[in-house]
Structure 1
Amino acid sequence: MSEQNGAVNLSIEHNIGTIEFYHPKGNSLPGAILRKLANTITEAGENNEIHVIVIKSRGEGAFCAGASFDELIAIEDYDTGKNFFMGFALVLNAMRTCPKLIIVRVHGKTVGGGVGIASAGDYTFAHENASVKLSELALGIGPFVVGPAVERKVGTSAFSTMAVDATNWYDSKFAEQKGLFNKVFDSVSDLNQAVRELATQLAQSSPEAMRDLKAVLWKGTEDWDLLLEQRAEISGRLVLSDFTKNFINKFKSKS
């Protein structure tokens, strides 16, 4: 995969597997990146050399701009729409079923699917500039696929707040108070140090104990394979609406 089309890379050091994703358009998530990310998470979970996983994105701008608008506007049939949103389902389910604990490092603003990734982390660190937004309803879709992950982490009330007021950014303090972020830092160096320290600590912990803890933490999500596919079907239908296509065209014309 060329850098122009984005990238997903896995590096291993001292039993820490670091997965970094990248896309030149705000670390957005095209279908190919989503599937590569899901596969890489699964591979890292099966690698005995890795005891703990860190997920991060590249650069100093947005952590994740969410779904790729270029791909959304090109969707012309239901099957293509469902297939695209299944990419998000695959990533969330890969994080859920991975036997390793996953740390997520959120360094900047994150939208939609990026909020889902942050929510699916077992421990999520963030920079104070890491505002979050579930913009899907404004697009005429709704946060259906990421919804279970976000609601599991922040509760129904906070998820409803973010999902309904889809044009509003919620700051890192809100995200920390609601449990989306576990800790927030005012400098990138402090953020990096915290990620490094916890990852190092977990890399030296019992893999068996962490695997069992992971299973306990995710108890009650066993139906997500089917649930997230059903949610992808809803989004795959709604993305075909004139409302969504008009919204994206207007947004792209302003950018």
Structure 2
Amino acid sequence: MYENLLTNESNGIYTITINRPTKLNALNSQVITELGEAILEIYNNPAIKSAIITGIGEKAFAAGADISEFTELDGEGGKQLALRGQQLVFSKIENCPKPIVAAVNGFALGGGCELAMACHFRIASNNAKFGQPEVNLGLIPGYGGTQRLTHLVGKGRAIELLITGNMIDADEAYRIGLVNKVTELSDLIPTAEKILGAVNKKAPLAVSKCLTLANIAVSKPLVGLEQEIQEFGNLFDTKDAKEGAAAFLEKRPANFIGE
């Protein structure tokens, strides 16, 4: 179906693997197009409850954008490149109503780091490396890196990484809050699947609202508090909320249906 992606759905978890091993899974325009299509599948396929994004092999999650595509761009072309990526992929991931986890299996640099940061959280193998080296090209991140990195690790650490272009390893990424867990490479996907397997048993509407409100908390905290009250109340009208309370009182597992 895709030239640069491998996809698989199992037990409600949709795994997207970037498959450009000779280019360290770099994000060229075709990969962005295909990722956009795969993300829409997550949105639209009711069998998919959550997703994992990873890279093929043991070297790279995604080692940045394909710089060969930069050489002919002028200012307007650069803006359109960034806008297209944001609209098709990065913002779509961040705003997805189903959780999408980055399983970072190696280099996550430039656009690759931005792809991981757009996901709802990140798990890294112990050989993973993170960085935003765009300053070395006389550029800045264009797929949301300046914003999401600051939200995740704080202003001071983000500025240091952005203006030095330095690369950090998985343990440092964990220490500063860029990733949630660090595993052996062989345990990376199983760990992501275990977490999402547990999430998939939760009430889908409640999970979706948690994702939405967490995004609002970062961008509009006061609006988020107001909307949290509204959405908290709205969920009491759902079948899943009634089922959750009944199951708790009856000391049995809940059977959530997403309604």
TM bucket by the smaller chain?
Answer: 0.7 to 0.9
Given residue 196 of structure 1, which amino acid in structure 2 is its aligned partner? E
Aligned to 1:196: 193
Given residue 197 of structure 2, which amino acid in structure 1 is its aligned partner? T
Distance change (3 Å), C-alpha of 1:140 and 1:152: same
Q: CA deviation at 1:162?
A: 0.5
Residues 162-173 of structure 1: matches in 2 within 5 Å? 162-166=161-165, 168-173=166-171
Deviations 1:103-141 (A, max 9, x none): 110010111111111112222110111111110011001
Aligned to 2:227: none
Q: CA deviation at 1:88?
A: 3.1
Q: CA deviation at 1:55?
A: 0.9
Aligned to 2:178: 180
Task: Tell me the distance in 1 between the aligned counterparts of 2:2 and 2:211.
Answer: 34
1:131 aligns with 2:129: yes
Pick the aligned partner of 2:110 from 103, 109, 112. 112
Q: Which has the larger radius of gyration?
A: 2
Counting aligned pairs with the same residue, the percent is 27
Distance change (3 Å), C-alpha of 1:86 and 1:8: farther
Query: Quick check: 65-74 or 85-94, which moved more?
Result: 85-94
Aligned to 2:240: none
TM-score (norm 1): 0.79
Distance change (3 Å), C-alpha of 1:13 and 1:2: closer
Given residue 21 of structure 1, which amino acid in structure 2 is its aligned partner? I
Q: Secondary structure at the match of 1:64?
A: strand
Conservation of the 8 A alpha-carbon contact between 2:151 and 2:218: no
Task: Tell me the distance in 2 between the aligned counterparts of 1:47 and 1:136.
Answer: 35
Conservation of the 8 A alpha-carbon contact between 1:92 and 1:149: no
Distance change (3 Å), C-alpha of 1:209 and 1:48: same
The structure, 1 or 2, with the larger RCO (C-alpha pairs under 8 Å, 6+ apart) is 1
1:70 aligns with 2:68: yes
1:206 aligns with 2:174: no
Query: Quick check: 214-223 or 92-101, which moved more?
Result: 214-223
Task: Tell me the distance in 2 between the aligned counterparts of 1:113 and 1:158.
Answer: 19
Q: CA deviation at 1:82?
A: 2.0
Pick the aligned partner of 2:19 from 19, 22, 35. 22
Return 5+ residue gaps in structure 1 as ranges.
Answer: 224-255
Q: CA deviation at 1:35?
A: 2.5
Conservation of the 8 A alpha-carbon contact between 1:64 and 1:109: yes
Q: CA deviation at 1:68?
A: 0.3
Return 5+ residue gaps in structure 2 as ranges.
Answer: 221-259
Task: Tell me the distance in 2 between the aligned counterparts of 1:2 and 1:17.
Answer: 15
Task: Tell me the distance in 2 between the aligned counterparts of 1:2 and 1:45.
Answer: 18
Task: Tell me the distance in 2 between the aligned counterparts of 1:130 and 1:138.
Answer: 21
1:80 aligns with 2:80: no
Pick the aligned partner of 1:89 from 86, 89, 93. 86
Task: Tell me the distance in 2 between the aligned counterparts of 1:31 and 1:19.
Answer: 17
Aligned to 1:102: 100
Q: CA deviation at 1:221?
A: 6.1
Q: CA deviation at 1:95?
A: 0.8
**Equivalent residue pairs, number:** 217
Distance change (3 Å), C-alpha of 1:151 and 1:162: same
Conservation of the 8 A alpha-carbon contact between 1:109 and 1:131: yes
